[in-house]
Amino acid sequence: AALAAALFNGSARGWTGRGTGVDDAGLALETQVVVDGLTLHAGVTDNPLQALRCLGGRELAAMSGAIARARELRIPVILDGFICTAAAAVLERCAPGALDHTVAGHVSAEGAHRALLGHLGKAPLLDLGLRLGEGSGAALAIGVLKGALACHSGMSTFAEAGVVGG
């Protein structure tokens, strides 16, 4: 949440949420931690990589690096969930178009995830209200992508199928 707020502005409250079901006290604590982090690192909001370093942690840095390397290797990536999308957003802020090899597998029940996808211009493949984590949205999206690929690669053209006047 802190990284998304640093990259795209907005209030800490606007970027935090109940995730997998935190109670009111947990949400208040999360929001305060984001406020504190943004206050402490107020000078990094203009530099996406510094924002990642100061607010993202090693896990998000590793995700950003993996997504960047996948682009170099021409490997498509399914973005899964708010945290993964925040890590990817750093790349897009550094170099618009850096996420052209990615697709949003789903949009989670977190309102902030939908907002973040909007900032990135990514439409999710699935909108099932998931909040499970563990890559569950990406796992479901793989079936959709495989089906789309099969249709694209395996369907006949109208001419090949003998369709007249189509």
Tokens of 72: 């170099």
Tokens of 38: 């943004």
Kindly name the residue from 59, 72, 110, 134 that is annotated as catalytic.
134
CB 111 within 8 A of CB 17: yes
> For residue 108, how far is the Cα from the chain centroid?
10
Question: Which residue, among 132, 91, 128, has the nearest Cα to 107 in the 3D structure?
Answer: 128
**110 catalytic, yes or no?**
no
Catalytic residue set: 134
